């Protein structure tokens, strides 16, 4: 089993312009960029958005290969979307065979849909690849802070997120270990019907649950030993500060949004 090969919100340390941006500006960018992608309607706006995304990927200095690898899990969805749009759009028929037909409109629609999904994934990958999980949750906490006024537990939520992110690799390792230990006792996870396969998972899941509870308890004690008592009066070692580059980056994002809006509602 290659459980440890799974990349979950993996971070690639670096010192590029994108890496040094405040996590908040990157989160805002990602959210606005998704809006921008869905506002795109014509070839020019798609071209503009794609070009800016490629430039950002370029200056992030994360290898393009990694982005391609990160997009692999959605290949199935992309292919399905493409096929559905290709065959089920009415319009100017280019080719037909029995009940199957490809129209000019369908071709364009399929192309744009695929482009949309890929850009969507690519922009979120840009965020997680260039921002460490800790900074990411810090940024999110700061951005959501206004919600605290309406009683939303922002700090608790971000603390839960940090802990969850921290323990994903640990639990993957642990699962690997337990699987091997049960295999050494002759466990068989591959044969039998669905019921037998589900039953074969019990010897993995129970030890995993128990060790998660144990770890949670140990962590809780360790946190209490260091006087953790939640949000009140808590100061931060890393103070997030917006620099000139963040304002520049956000201005760029808003200009891109404005450009796409103009193209959508007024045409060229």
Partner 1 sequence: MEPIIEIKNLTHIYSPKTPFEHKALDNVDLTIYRGEYLGIIGRTGSGKSTLIQHLNGLMKPSSGQILFEGKDIWGSKAMTHDIRYQVGLVFQYPEYQLFEETVYKDIAYGPRNMKLSEEEVDRRVRQAAKFAGLSDAVLERSPFELSGGQKRRVAIAGVIAMEPKVLILDEPTAGLDPAGAAEILENIEAYRKSNNATIIFVSHSMEDVARITDRLVVISKGTLPYVGTPHEVFSHGEDLDKLGLAVPAMNRVFSRVHAMGVDIDPAVYTVEQAKAAFLEAFRRKERV
Interacting residue ranges for partner 1, rule: CB under 8 A? 177-178, 180-188, 202-203, 206-207, 210-211
Quick check: 178 and 208 in contact, CB under 8 A? yes
Which residues contact residue 135 at a Cβ distance below 8 angstroms, ignoring those fewer than 6 apart? Answer: 23, 238
- Compare residues 91 and 203 and give the one whose CB is closer to partner 1: 203
Residue 39 CA to residue 225 CA, distance in Å, equals 51
- Compare residues 214 and 243 and give the one whose CB is closer to partner 1: 214
- Compare residues 71 and 208 and give the one whose CB is closer to partner 1: 208
Q: Closest separation between CB of residue 201 and partner 1, Å? A: 11
Q: Closest separation between CB of residue 175 and partner 1, Å? A: 12
- Compare residues 60 and 182 and give the one whose CB is closer to partner 1: 182
- Compare residues 69 and 243 and give the one whose CB is closer to partner 1: 69
Residue 82 CA to residue 255 CA, distance in Å, equals 30
Q: Closest separation between CB of residue 185 and partner 1, Å? A: 4
22-42 residues labelled b (16+ CB within 10 A) or e (exposed): bbbbbbbbbebbeebbeebee
The token pair that represents 129 in the structure block: 């690849």
- Compare residues 205 and 223 and give the one whose CB is closer to partner 1: 205
Q: Closest separation between CB of residue 154 and partner 1, Å? A: 35
Residue 46 CA to residue 54 CA, distance in Å, equals 12
Instruction: Report which of 11, 40, 5, 62 is spatially closest to residue 118, judged by C-alpha positions.
Output: 40
Residue labelled with tokens 């700090």? 155
Quick check: 49 and 115 in contact, CB under 8 A? no
Q: Closest separation between CB of residue 176 and partner 1, Å? A: 11
Q: Closest separation between CB of residue 179 and partner 1, Å? A: 9
Residue 200 CA to residue 203 CA, distance in Å, equals 7
Quick check: 113 and 34 in contact, CB under 8 A? no
């Amino acid at each position: 089993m290659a459980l440890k090969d799974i990349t979950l919100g993996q971070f690639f340390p670096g010192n590029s312009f994108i890496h040094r941006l405040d996590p908040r500006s990157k989160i805002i960018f990602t959210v606005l960029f998704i809006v921008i992608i869905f506002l795109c309607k014509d070839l020019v706006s798609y071209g503009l958005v794609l070009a800016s995304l490629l430039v950002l990927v370029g200056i992030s200095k994360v290898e393009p290969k990694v982005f391609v690898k990160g997009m692999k899990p959605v290949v199935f969805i992309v292919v399905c979307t493409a096929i559905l749009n290709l065959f089920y759009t009415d319009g100017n028929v280019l080719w037909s065979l029995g009940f199957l037909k490809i129209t000019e409109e369908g071709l364009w629609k399929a192309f744009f849909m695929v482009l949309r999904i890929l850009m969507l994934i690519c922009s979120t990958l840009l965020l997680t690849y260039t921002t460490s999980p800790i900074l990411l949750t810090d940024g999110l906490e700061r951005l959501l802070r206004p919600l605290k006024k309406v009683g939303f537990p922002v700090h608790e939520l971000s603390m839960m997120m940090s802990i969850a992110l921290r323990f994903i690799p640990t639990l993957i390792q642990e699962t690997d270990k337990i699987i091997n230990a049960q295999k050494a006792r002759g466990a068989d996870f591959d044969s039998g019907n669905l019921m037998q396969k589900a039953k074969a998972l019990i010897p993995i899941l129970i030890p995993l649950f128990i060790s998660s509870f144990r770890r949670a308890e140990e962590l809780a004690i360790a946190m209490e030993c260091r006087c953790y008592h939640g949000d009140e009066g808590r100061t931060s070692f890393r103070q997030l500060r917006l620099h000139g580059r963040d304002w520049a980056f956000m201005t760029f994002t808003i200009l891109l949004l404005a450009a796409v809006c103009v193209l959508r509602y007024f045409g060229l």
